[in-house]
Structure 1
Amino acid sequence: MILGEYSTPEAIARMRHTLGLDLPLWEQFVRFVKTLFTQGDTGNSIIAGTSTRELIAERAPVTLLLIGMACIAAIVIALLLATLAATQKDKLLDHLIRIFPTVTLGMPIFWVGLLLILVFSVRLRWFPVGGIGEGWAGTLHSLALPAITVAFSQIPTLIRSLRVQMLEVLESDFVVTLKAAGIPGRVILFKHVVRNAALPTLMLLGVNISYLIGGTLVVEQVFGIKGIGSLLFTSISNRDFPVIQGIALYCAIGVVIVSLLIEILSWWLDPRTKGTS
Structure 2
Amino acid sequence: MNFLRFAARRLLEMAATLLGASFVVYGAMYLAPGSPASFLLSGRSASPAALQAINQQYHLDDPFLVRYLRWLGQVVRGDFGRSITYRTDVSTVLADRLPATLLLVAMALVIVLAAGLVLGWIGAVRGGATDSTILVTTTLAIGTPSFVAAVLLQGVFAVGLGWFPSSGAGEGLGDMLWHLTLPAIALALYLIGMLARVTRSAMLEALDGDHVTVARSRGVPERQVIGRHVFRNSLGTVLTTSGLIVSTLLVCTILVESAFSIGGIGQLLELSTTTKDFPTVQAVSLIIVALFMVVNLVVDLLHPLVDPRVTLGSRRNDA
> Structure 2 length as normaliser, TM-score?
0.79
1:33 aligns with 2:66: no
1:53 aligns with 2:91: yes
Answer with 219-228 or 230-239: which moved more: 230-239
User: In structure 1, how many angstroms separate the alpha carbons of the residues matched to 2:58 and 2:313?
Assistant: 52
1:3 aligns with 2:3: no
Matched with 2:60 is: 21
1:248 aligns with 2:310: no
Change (3 A) 1:127 1:183: farther
Unpaired segments ≥5 residues, structure 2: 1-38, 315-319
Matched with 1:114 is: 151
User: In structure 1, how many angstroms separate the alpha carbons of the residues matched to 2:275 and 2:174?
Assistant: 34
Change (3 A) 1:38 1:137: closer
Matched with 1:225 is: 262
User: Among 60, 65, 71, which residue is 2:103 paired with?
Assistant: 65
1:159-238, aligned counterparts within 5 Å? 159-238=196-275
**Cα offsets for 1:179-227 (capped at 9, x unmatched):** 2333322232233322211211210221343322111122111112121
Answer with 247-256 or 221-230: which moved more: 221-230
CA shift at 1:72, angstroms?
1.3
CA shift at 1:138, angstroms?
2.2
Query: What letter is aligned with 2:111?
Result: A
User: In structure 1, how many angstroms separate the alpha carbons of the residues matched to 2:165 and 2:98?
Assistant: 21
CA shift at 1:274, angstroms?
6.3
User: In structure 2, how many angstroms separate the alpha carbons of the residues matched to 1:107 and 1:175?
Assistant: 36
Q: 1:131 touches 1:224 (CA, 8 Å); kept in 2?
A: yes
Matched with 2:120 is: 82
> Structure 1 length as normaliser, TM-score?
0.90
Query: What letter is aligned with 2:83?
Result: S
Change (3 A) 1:239 1:175: same
Query: What letter is aligned with 2:144?
Result: M
User: In structure 1, how many angstroms separate the alpha carbons of the residues matched to 2:168 and 2:87?
Assistant: 26
User: In structure 1, how many angstroms separate the alpha carbons of the residues matched to 2:311 and 2:146?
Assistant: 38
Q: What is the DSSP-based 3-state SS (H/G/I as helix, E as strand, rest coil) of the residue aligned with 1:46? A: coil
Query: What letter is aligned with 1:8?
Result: S
Answer with 120-129 or 198-207: which moved more: 120-129
**Cα offsets for 1:7-61 (capped at 9, x unmatched):** 32211111112221222222222222222223342x2111223222221122111
Answer with 103-112 or 124-133: which moved more: 124-133
User: In structure 2, how many angstroms separate the alpha carbons of the residues matched to 1:272 and 1:124?
Assistant: 50
Q: What is the DSSP-based 3-state SS (H/G/I as helix, E as strand, rest coil) of the residue aligned with 2:168? A: coil
Q: 1:127 touches 1:142 (CA, 8 Å); kept in 2?
A: yes
User: In structure 1, how many angstroms separate the alpha carbons of the residues matched to 2:194 and 2:223?
Assistant: 25
User: In structure 2, how many angstroms separate the alpha carbons of the residues matched to 1:136 and 1:38?
Assistant: 30
User: In structure 2, how many angstroms separate the alpha carbons of the residues matched to 1:124 and 1:188?
Assistant: 44
User: In structure 1, how many angstroms separate the alpha carbons of the residues matched to 2:57 and 2:170?
Assistant: 41
User: In structure 2, how many angstroms separate the alpha carbons of the residues matched to 1:59 and 1:50?
Assistant: 14
Change (3 A) 1:21 1:204: same
Unpaired segments ≥5 residues, structure 1: none
CA shift at 1:275, angstroms?
9.1
Q: 1:130 touches 1:223 (CA, 8 Å); kept in 2?
A: yes
**Cα offsets for 1:216-241 (capped at 9, x unmatched):** 12211111212112211221232211
**Cα offsets for 1:119-152 (capped at 9, x unmatched):** 2223333322222334322222221221111112
Change (3 A) 1:15 1:26: same
Answer with 124-133 or 213-222: which moved more: 124-133
